[in-house]
Amino acid sequence: SAVISQKPSRDICQRGTSLTIQCQVDSQVTMMFWYRQQPGQSLTLIATANQGSEATYESGFVIDKFPISRPNLTFSTLTVSNMSPEDSSIYLCSVEEGARGLNYEQYFGPGTRLTVT
């Protein structure tokens, strides 16, 4: 299974600033996913990042607020822009392995805990 690391593991930021979260995978993967988990809530998919193309955003999430880069098959970044306290969440990166309908599975990184003051 893929091993995923994220940086930073946690951060405390002031409102109005931006934070870039890095996700590194130990193997080449086609699709990478970014999720948000607000306090006491479950995970919500922000966007899907496919190498070589623009990220696909879910309803309620926009590129200006959450720009994503995917420069190669093992790395992606998510930026949380112009932060407000409502952005305080755990942000998780995940990757998929296997073929859909067969042995497909998603693996998650350790998460980045963001607090906006």
Q: Which of 54, 102, 114, 115 binds other proteins (CB under 8 A)?
A: 102
Q: Could you tell me which stretch among 17-25, 60-68, 81-89, 92-100 binds other proteins (CB under 8 A)?
A: 92-100
Bridge partners of 6, per DSSP, are 23
Q: Is 104 in the site for other proteins (CB under 8 A)?
A: yes
Tell me how far CA of residue 59 lies from CA of 27, 35, 45, 47, 91, in angstroms: 29, 13, 9, 9, 17
Q: Which of 43, 79, 81, 115 binds other proteins (CB under 8 A)?
A: 43
Bridge partners of 4, per DSSP, are 25
Binding site for other proteins (CB under 8 A): 1, 6, 31, 33, 41-45, 48, 56, 90, 92, 94, 100-111, 113
